[in-house]
Amino acid sequence: IHPGDLIQTTGVEGRVEKVGFGATYVRTEQGLMAVPNHLMASQIITLRTAPPIAELKRPAA
């Protein structure tokens, strides 16, 4: 789990803003939530982040 990841777990769905020593901070529709890391480690987490997309720019011919 890294900042920017979109995750879903029991009762929490949102984008990870910060992973700290004791908690992971997730931005949800309701605001910023601090989820204790011991709960993150004991629950099933669905990672919903899409792989990065590269943009290729070519000079005009």
Q: Specify if 61 maps to a domain.
A: no
* CATH number for position 33: 2.30.30
Q: Specify if 37 maps to a domain.
A: yes
Nearest-angstrom CA–CA distance, 16 and 60: 39
Domains in the chain: how many in total?
1
- 37 lies in which domain range? 6-45
**Which residues have C-beta within 8 Å of that of residue 29, sequence separation ≥ 6?**
14
Q: Specify if 39 maps to a domain.
A: yes
Q: Specify if 57 maps to a domain.
A: no
What's the sign of the alpha-carbon dihedral 14, 4, 49, 23? negative
Question: Model-level pTM greater than 0.85?
Answer: no
Helix (H, G, I), strand (E, B) or coil at 36: strand
Q: Specify if 17 maps to a domain.
A: yes
pLDDT values of the chain reduced to their tens digit, one per residue, 61 residues = 899 999 998 888 999 999 999 999 999 999 999 999 998 888 888 888 766 666 666 776 6
